[in-house]
Structure 1
């Protein structure tokens, strides 16, 4: 058949969304590097390896039930069709009726989002959770938690009907994962040695800051697929505008976070800057399609500052969040979701076709109220369900490894070998006369 304008446009859109899906999946590399670098050497192999495991589990669970529950035709609460997705069931997904992209590509794209939300949740489990929990909770999160809020906002549910603006998932993806991380930190309790008897906190630095930097750069790049890919097409060119607002916000978050750390601490703190980058990415995720570039800079800057102060506050409150998951993805997710109720412009709202203009553009308090209601309903559902699931697991099989296993490290206790095994091996014999020490190295 001779190609038509419509068929070529559809093919271009499909290619863009497929590339975006790959970019979002590659964000798992960023999470692996970031989390491994932000935790201790004795847990590095475990932290990186579980990223592969949980992505695999999430993929199967999302194929079987998650995709249908999130986007399948159903009611205002949950989807009820499209289970065990066969790659061609587009009739079961009215939420994608306007999309020209093949449903199989849309499945991969949305799977990548669910996997990101799950990866965020694991930040609260770091360095002390049993490996078995990753198996069980990956399935339960992908089937019972993520799809419900996803359906409410993106699958035609009650928040979609109210006009909630969450273009790429500040609430659907990031806030959900962050709340689960918060629940986990509460139920698991702090890592050994994190707090003293008087309640004061001890710094437990990550073992490789370079890994953390590389991880954040991978995430920054992958986020262009995350936000700009959510146009589900490229021929209109709107994805370029979204990439611009995304990058401006991120840059502002990096600069603001580093600046505030320098002012408050007297030193320019690199981990604070990295958290500022991620917080800005999280915040602009909801609003990237609705706001002007200057507003994106404001949103990103506020995110970087908010994350700096809230991470300190949570630490002082006795909440041991090893990778600051709730500060970065939760607090920034809340701010980003509310920001559309302030900064959404009439022209961009009309272009996207969701909700109404923000307070600063003559829209009054209506959209801000919808955003706040969506946040409250989503947060309440995720917190309650996650708490019930994790509490049941805690009193039955247990969430946390033993004290001895935690001290030794999860690399050895859960996997039988360290991520850096040469540090535990005696040095090789050296030629006679070598001046180097022949003592063994041990991981501390």
Structure 2
């Protein structure tokens, strides 16, 4: 009887893991649509190519080496045998001691859930460097980011191999406000600083020129896809579903994730109305995403009202950050550094507000380690690529659009850019 209960819970938790992973994979479509909507028409095909290509690269590199670096366990060579060993060990333990309800699931499902997180982290970089970076340079960086840079910082946090500093400070990041989102933004920031702004974005006298996206309906669709996928991102991080306590935790995580996103959208909408005198759709979309990023570090312990207020604050923060980065002439076409970096840090730092096991010092220290490692390592890789092959397409190619120079085809050939 004990074994039957274990097998049922094993199957349920494995299935839940896989379905949440599929939801997170769907976020790749959200990033692609959001970015395609926020860039100019002449760069749409290249953006879509980057998003599909980076997902494939992330899956392959994490399979071949990233998972090993992060969890000290190779999956490329061992395959499902590791999962079978896990089941046998768990069955033996349950027969001896009784099943204690711990999360036990297929190793393959764990790998699948983890690999889509890697792709999410890399997707953040794509939008920030849009409209002026060489496609194959981006892919080269994706190889290093997904195969080494991200897995190493993941091993110090989720992987159970903390550097002494993080281990002593008891850093907590439930689903990755810092480990995934701030890490992606840190890599993006390093690239943007070396890459420079798009031609015409900033005037000689410091004026900021808006460069509207080509397809706001597409950007809106992308935001809703990301919003939906985030339930798998945060909900799957509970790691199991097959008992009452876990089911209640999953429900609370879903509720708080949605509440924070709604709060973020409202906060950004209201502040944009105050600043611009109108309802700014792009700020509204980024506000919703900011709410999602902010709650990701701790979606379980807040009350729904607290989650809404966290999201509201994040929505206000992201608008201020986007405007501030523009004044600093840091050109980020989709607001990725603000949404995932600035708000990702905010999400990490507010964990102690509702989680008594975390401390502000511990959260700040953990975030600092993540930023310093990812930013520094990324800066080195971007710098090498810049010195060897260059990061930017030519000024003429930028004027004509990356679609033609990098992909040889336009997304909207019937229209004139």
Q: Does the aligned pair in 1 maintain the 2:234–2:296 contact within 8 Å?
A: yes
The range that moved more, 118-127 or 23-32, is 118-127
- Tell me whether 1:195 sits opposite 2:202 in the alignment: yes
- Tell me whether 1:415 sits opposite 2:407 in the alignment: yes
Deviation at 1:45, TM superposition (A): 1.1
List aligned pairs for 1:150-161, cutoff 5 A: 150-158=154-162, 159=166
Q: Does the aligned pair in 2 maintain the 1:72–1:82 contact within 8 Å?
A: no
SS in structure 1 of the partner of residue 294 of structure 2 = helix
Alpha-carbon distance in structure 2 between the residues aligned to 1:261 and 1:326: 18
Partner of 2:97: none
Q: Does the aligned pair in 1 maintain the 2:17–2:113 contact within 8 Å?
A: yes
Deviation at 1:335, TM superposition (A): 0.4
Cα RMSD for the two superposed structures = 1.9
Residues paired across the two proteins, number: 397
- Tell me whether 1:280 sits opposite 2:291 in the alignment: yes
Q: Does the aligned pair in 2 maintain the 1:72–1:92 contact within 8 Å?
A: no
Alpha-carbon distance in structure 1 between the residues aligned to 2:300 and 2:152: 24
| 1:248 alignment partner, one of 256, 259, 276 | 259
Say which one has the larger Rg. Answer: 1
Which segments of 5 or more consecutive residues in structure 1 lack a partner in the other structure?
A: 74-80, 347-355, 358-366, 424-442
Deviation at 1:184, TM superposition (A): 1.3
Alpha-carbon distance in structure 1 between the residues aligned to 2:323 and 2:31: 22
Alpha-carbon distance in structure 1 between the residues aligned to 2:191 and 2:2: 56
- Tell me whether 1:291 sits opposite 2:283 in the alignment: no
- Higher helix share goes to which structure? 2
Deviation at 1:131, TM superposition (A): 1.2
Deviation at 1:150, TM superposition (A): 0.7
| Distance change >3 Å, CA 92–CA 152, structure 1 → 2 | farther
Alpha-carbon distance in structure 1 between the residues aligned to 2:103 and 2:70: 16
Q: Does the aligned pair in 2 maintain the 1:88–1:104 contact within 8 Å?
A: no
Normalising by structure 1, what TM-score?
0.86
Partner of 2:191: 184
List aligned pairs for 1:110-129, cutoff 5 A: 110-129=114-133
Alpha-carbon distance in structure 1 between the residues aligned to 2:13 and 2:410: 44
| 2:111 alignment partner, one of 99, 107, 110 | 107
Partner of 1:393: 385
Deviation at 1:90, TM superposition (A): 4.8
Alpha-carbon distance in structure 2 between the residues aligned to 1:213 and 1:322: 15
Partner of 1:14: 14
- Tell me whether 1:142 sits opposite 2:164 in the alignment: no
Q: Does the aligned pair in 1 maintain the 2:181–2:293 contact within 8 Å?
A: yes
Deviation at 1:10, TM superposition (A): 1.4
- Tell me whether 1:86 sits opposite 2:79 in the alignment: yes
Alpha-carbon distance in structure 2 between the residues aligned to 1:32 and 1:292: 32
Partner of 1:130: 134
Alpha-carbon distance in structure 2 between the residues aligned to 1:287 and 1:379: 19
Alpha-carbon distance in structure 2 between the residues aligned to 1:108 and 1:82: 11
Alpha-carbon distance in structure 2 between the residues aligned to 1:155 and 1:388: 24
Q: Does the aligned pair in 2 maintain the 1:64–1:85 contact within 8 Å?
A: no
Partner of 1:314: 325
SS in structure 1 of the partner of residue 297 of structure 2 = helix
List aligned pairs for 1:373-384, cutoff 5 A: 373-384=365-376
Alpha-carbon distance in structure 2 between the residues aligned to 1:278 and 1:207: 20
SS in structure 1 of the partner of residue 212 of structure 2 = coil
- Tell me whether 1:300 sits opposite 2:311 in the alignment: yes
Deviation at 1:91, TM superposition (A): 9.4
| Distance change >3 Å, CA 403–CA 84, structure 1 → 2 | farther
Deviation at 1:160, TM superposition (A): 5.3
Q: Does the aligned pair in 1 maintain the 2:181–2:344 contact within 8 Å?
A: yes
Q: Does the aligned pair in 1 maintain the 2:14–2:105 contact within 8 Å?
A: yes
| Distance change >3 Å, CA 329–CA 250, structure 1 → 2 | same
SS in structure 2 of the partner of residue 255 of structure 1 = helix
SS in structure 1 of the partner of residue 348 of structure 2 = helix
Alpha-carbon distance in structure 2 between the residues aligned to 1:99 and 1:138: 32
Q: Does the aligned pair in 1 maintain the 2:70–2:151 contact within 8 Å?
A: yes
| 2:228 alignment partner, one of 221, 229, 235 | 221
Partner of 1:76: none
The range that moved more, 289-298 or 207-216, is 289-298
Normalising by structure 2, what TM-score?
0.91
1:386-408 deviation per Cα after TM superposition (whole angstroms, max 9, x unaligned): 00110110011111111111111
